[in-house]
C-alpha cells in the first residue's frame, strides 16, 4: 500500500457519543464542548483544510507540525513495523483530534496518520496550539479526557486483533467509520480494509461478502453503503460498544 505523504506540503481534506446511531452536527465535538471564550480563541487560530483519501498527515518519530480537528473527514492511526504496511489501531474523526500528545509535552507520535475519509478539518500550527493550551484550562482538561479515551481505543484494538474473528472486527471497523462519515456511503477498497485490519485480502472479501448477503451492507466498485446499522452492531464484536461507552462517559 502506497500512501501520499503531505506532511508540511499541500493542505491535507461523527460521532455524537450521547446518541447512538445519529449523525453529528457540522463541527468538531472537542471544540464544541470548550468554554465559550476558549472555543472562540481556538477557532481564531484555526485554518480550514481539505483532507484527501490516502494522504499521510503525520509520520512516526517526526516532529508534529500541526494538529487537526476533523469535521467531516476521518483519519486512521496506523502502527507500523519494518517490512510491514502496519495495522490500524485507532480512528480520529470529528469526535476528537490528531496531535493530542502535545498536551503531554510530547512533540512526536509513534503512529502513522493516514486520511481514511476525505473531507474538511480545522488545522492549527503546533506553536500556536501550545500557546493556547497553556492559557486554556478547559482545553487542557478536555484533552486529558480525550487522551484517556484514545488509550481505551488503542488497547481495545490490540485485544480485538488478538481474540476476535475477521467478520466481527470488520463490522466494528465499518461502524466506527460510519460514525465519522458524513453519510451512509463511503469509498473503501478490500485492499485498504485488509491493510487496516492486518489480514489477508481474501479474508476481507469473505467477511464482506457475508455481511452483504445478510443485507447489512452493499459494496460495489469501491463504494460501501451501510444498509442495516442495527444488524451491523449485532454482528460486531463487543469492542465497538467499549469505545463508545468510554467516550460518552468522559466527553459529553
Total domains, the chain: 2
Residue 25: the pLDDT is 39
Q: What is the CATH number for 199?
A: 1.10.10.10
Q: Would the pTM of this model clear 0.75, i.e. be above it? A: yes
Same domain, 173 and 112: no
> In this structure, are residues 236 and 154 in contact, taking their beta carbons and an 8 Å threshold?
no
Residue 227: the pLDDT is 97
Among the listed residues 128, 30, 106, 116, the one whose alpha carbon sits nearest the alpha carbon of residue 62: 106
Same domain, 125 and 21: yes
Same domain, 121 and 233: no
Residue 3: the pLDDT is 45
Share of the chain above pLDDT 70, in %: 89
Q: Are strands 84-92 and 119-125 parallel, antiparallel or unpaired?
A: unpaired
Q: Model confidence over 6-50: pLDDT tens digits?
A: 433 333 333 333 333 333 334 899 999 999 999 999 999 999 999
Domain boundary among 129, 160, 191: 160
Residue 16: the pLDDT is 37
Residue 181: the pLDDT is 85
Domain boundary among 109, 126, 160: 160
The residue segments making up the domain with residue 50 are: 4-160
Same domain, 47 and 155: yes
Which helix H or strand E contains 114, and what residues bound it?
strand 112-117
Query: From CA 74, how far away is CA 92, in angstroms rounded?
Result: 6
Same domain, 35 and 134: yes
Tell me: pLDDT of 88 over 80. yes
Q: Model confidence over 153-195: pLDDT tens digits?
A: 999 998 998 899 999 999 999 999 999 987 899 888 888 888 7
Same domain, 104 and 193: no
Residue 5: the pLDDT is 42
Same domain, 192 and 234: yes
Query: From CA 134, how far away is CA 95, in angstroms rounded?
Result: 22
Which helix H or strand E contains 56, and what residues bound it?
strand 55-58
Same domain, 94 and 177: no
Q: What is the CATH number for 132?
A: 2.60.120.10
Domain boundary among 125, 160, 195: 160
Q: Model confidence over 113-143: pLDDT tens digits?
A: 999 999 999 999 999 999 999 999 999 999 9
Tell me: pLDDT of 149 over 90. yes
Q: Model confidence over 100-120: pLDDT tens digits?
A: 999 999 999 999 999 999 999
Amino acid at each position: 500500500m502506497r500512501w501520499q505523504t503531505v506532511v508540511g506540503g499541500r493542505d491535507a481534506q461523527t460521532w455524537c457519543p450521547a446518541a447512538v446511531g445519529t449523525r453529528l452536527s457540522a463541527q468538531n465535538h472537542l471544540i464544541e464542548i470548550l468554554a465559550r471564550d476558549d472555543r472562540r480563541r481556538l477557532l481564531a487560530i484555526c485554518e480550514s483544510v481539505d483532507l484527501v483519501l490516502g494522504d499521510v498527515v503525520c509520520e512516526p518519530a517526526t516532529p508534529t507540525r500541526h494538529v487537526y480537528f476533523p469535521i467531516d473527514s476521518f483519519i486512521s492511526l496506523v502502527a507500523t513495523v519494518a517490512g510491514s504496511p502496519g495495522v490500524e489501531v485507532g480512528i480520529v474523526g470529528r469526535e476528537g483530534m490528531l496531535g493530542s500528545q502535545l498536551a503531554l509535552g510530547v512533540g512526536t507520535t509513534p503512529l502513522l496518520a493516514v486520511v481514511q475519509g476525505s473531507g474538511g478539518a480545522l488545522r492549527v500550527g503546533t506553536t500556536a496550539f501550545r500557546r493556547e493550551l497553556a492559557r486554556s484550562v478547559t482545553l487542557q482538561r478536555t484533552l486529558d479526557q480525550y487522551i484517556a479515551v484514545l488509550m481505551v481505543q488503542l488497547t481495545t484494538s490490540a485485544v480485538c486483533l488478538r481474540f476476535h474473528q475477521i467478520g466481527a472486527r470488520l463490522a466494528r471497523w465499518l461502524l466506527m467509520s460510519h460514525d465519522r462519515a458524513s453519510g451512509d456511503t463511503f469509498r473503501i477498497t478490500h485492499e485498504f480494509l485488509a491493510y487496516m485490519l492486518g489480514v489477508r485480502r481474501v479474508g476481507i472479501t469473505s467477511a464482506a461478502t457475508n455481511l452483504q448477503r445478510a443485507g447489512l451492507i452493499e459494496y460495489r466498485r469501491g463504494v460501501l453503503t451501510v444498509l442495516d446499522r442495527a444488524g451491523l452492531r449485532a454482528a460486531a464484536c463487543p469492542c465497538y460498544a467499549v469505545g463508545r461507552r468510554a467516550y460518552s462517559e468522559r466527553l459529553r
